[in-house]
Chain A
């Protein structure tokens, strides 16, 4: 019975809203408001057809590549800077400034330097997604428990072993939070860079539809981006669950006390 109740809660409002939407758009409406049925039709025809290969895959591919690069670079640099006090002092003001720049404003400049190609779009994503991971890694490295760190020192755990067994796992909750932020930024950069300058991609297609005032197609693009956002967040949440299983257990245990 309670499963039914839960399903009711999950689907109730959405179904209600969709019904209201359907009936509200039965008559004449402004061209900018989509109707549910045409929207669904367009969604299927635009995105579930060949455009998957020509646009969706390249877009997501660039995003994933950019994110992966940012994560690796961010963690490596973050561990270095977080572990060496002098490095932190050297880089802190610079990093604080670079991360404050709203990364989309760099798109035109990068277009100039690199040109309108995949390297440019991936670089844009990396330049935006690096900072959350980097700064969160630094914070995570610095926040490692002192007693744990002393235990590691006393038992002779040094160098690479220390990084692998102590620093990386200890900083991982903070790093994951940074990765989540990077995902949000990456999505923004992927879309905006494609809207501004790209030959293919989800953002480009949506802009084309906008230029042709193909309203249902445009909205279908928005819908797709929503689905992409939800899916990527869900995947990240799953990864987090696996990586931070010990952390969740630890917090649950200490809350119980």
Chain B
């Protein structure tokens, strides 16, 4: 009987396949980085070519080099940072107010079946109203002030947080709830050990979604009403006939968007991590 324990002699095909597999592994490590950078460079190249040879004059579509250098040059101007700061400040305030309001109202409504049913139609009507529809009203009521921008941001984000909070409250495990009743927990204890931990992931998701929405609402308000911020700077640049500045500000807004997005996701992960380890301590 042939000895089955020794491996059969290695053939050339096998060697080739092994080498290919190893190359595939290395490719998977570096591929995304290399190709990703290549993609961005390709985009810049197409931009450059289109701007140089395309139908749009390079006055209206400046070269990437011009825009990028303006983008970096902006960092030296105090007015630039004031603008960014104004947008961020309104964003932060708006997000905070709408999150807290959404959480409180959400918990109140969510905890009561009567309230949930009674408020359903009103909420379902108010929710789809695009917050930007309030821009003219905000403009008339507040003028080009922070309050106008906050009105728009808060109205839009409030409902997002509210809906998520309602989902969260609805998700509270019924059996666990009844257990807390038999244990004679106070409302406060129940909130701490049962409701809030269940609610937390949903609430954080709501805040993360709102973070992006708040930015676009804020900039839209600044664009139309003229409140201080990036939107207003772009409108101003348009009036001054400075396309390069406009493009540079668009890139700035994009960078801001990415920072906010990454920051929101990081915060979400941190809070949920904490939440999971807290969860382990909740009595079954």
Q: Do chains A and B touch in the complex (CB under 8 A)?
A: yes
Residues of chain A with a CB closer than 8 A to B38's CB: 90
Residue of B at shortest CB range from A33? B141
User: Which residues of A from 84 to 104 have beta carbons under 8 Å from B?
Assistant: 85-86, 89-94, 96-98, 100-104
* Residue interface mask A75-119, B partner, CB < 8 A = 1: 000000000011001111110111011111111110111000000
Task: State how many angstroms separate the Cβ of B132 from the closest Cβ of chain A.
Answer: 5
Once the chains bind, are A233 and B128 in contact (CB under 8 Å)? yes
User: Which residues of B from 235 to 259 have beta carbons under 8 Å from A?
Assistant: 235, 237-238, 243, 246-247, 249-251, 253-255, 257-258
Residues of chain A with a CB closer than 8 A to B122's CB: 13-14, 17
Q: Which of B70-78, B223-231, B269-277 contacts A (4 or more CB under 8 A)?
A: B223-231
Residue of A at shortest CB range from B218? A102
* Residue interface mask B177-194, A partner, CB < 8 A = 1: 000000000000000000
Q: Is B135 an interface position by the 8 A CB rule?
A: yes
Once the chains bind, are B128 and A226 in contact (CB under 8 Å)? yes
Q: Is B85 an interface position by the 8 A CB rule?
A: no
Once the chains bind, are B129 and A229 in contact (CB under 8 Å)? yes
Q: Which of B29-37, B93-101, B165-173, B197-205 contacts A (4 or more CB under 8 A)?
A: B29-37
CA–CA, A59 and B119, complex, Å:
31
Once the chains bind, are B137 and A32 in contact (CB under 8 Å)? yes
Once the chains bind, are B133 and A206 in contact (CB under 8 Å)? yes
Q: Is A134 an interface position by the 8 A CB rule?
A: no
Once the chains bind, are A94 and B220 in contact (CB under 8 Å)? no
Task: State how many angstroms separate the Cβ of B10 from the closest Cβ of chain A.
Answer: 29
Once the chains bind, are A90 and B223 in contact (CB under 8 Å)? no
Contact of A94 among B31, B40, B119, B251 (CB under 8 A): B40
Contact of B223 among A14, A104, A230 (CB under 8 A): A104
Residues of chain B with a CB closer than 8 A to A215's CB: 140
Contact of B37 among A93, A102, A191 (CB under 8 A): A93
Residues of chain A with a CB closer than 8 A to B219's CB: 102, 104-105
Residue of B at shortest CB range from A100? B257
Q: Is A207 an interface position by the 8 A CB rule?
A: yes
Q: Is B21 an interface position by the 8 A CB rule?
A: no
CA–CA, A233 and B163, complex, Å:
15
Q: Is B56 an interface position by the 8 A CB rule?
A: yes
Q: Is A222 an interface position by the 8 A CB rule?
A: yes
Residues of chain A with a CB closer than 8 A to B39's CB: 89-94
Q: Is A155 an interface position by the 8 A CB rule?
A: no
CA–CA, A133 and B152, complex, Å:
25
Residue of B at shortest CB range from A31? B140
Residues of chain B with a CB closer than 8 A to A188's CB: 130-132, 216-217, 220
CA–CA, A237 and B117, complex, Å:
21
Contact of A97 among B134, B230, B235, B258 (CB under 8 A): B258
Q: Is B215 an interface position by the 8 A CB rule?
A: yes
Q: Is A171 an interface position by the 8 A CB rule?
A: no
Residue of B at shortest CB range from A108? B238
Residues of chain A with a CB closer than 8 A to B129's CB: 222, 225-226, 229
- Whether A9 contacts B120 in the complex (CB less than 8 A), given A92-B36, A105-B219, comes out as yes
CA–CA, A105 and B34, complex, Å:
30
Residues of chain A with a CB closer than 8 A to B37's CB: 93
Q: Is A12 an interface position by the 8 A CB rule?
A: yes
User: Which residues of B from 119 to 166 have beta carbons under 8 Å from A?
Assistant: 119-122, 124-126, 128-137, 139-141
Sorted nearest first, the 8 A-B pairs with minimum C-beta distance are: A229-B128, A100-B257, A210-B136, A89-B35, A226-B129, A102-B216, A101-B254, A108-B238
26 contacts between A and B (CB under 8 A): A9-B120, A10-B121, A13-B121, A89-B39, A90-B35, A90-B36, A90-B39, A93-B36, A97-B254, A101-B250, A101-B257, A102-B216, A102-B220, A102-B253, A102-B257, A104-B220, A105-B231, A108-B237, A109-B234, A195-B132, A196-B235, A215-B140, A222-B129, A222-B134, A226-B129, A232-B128
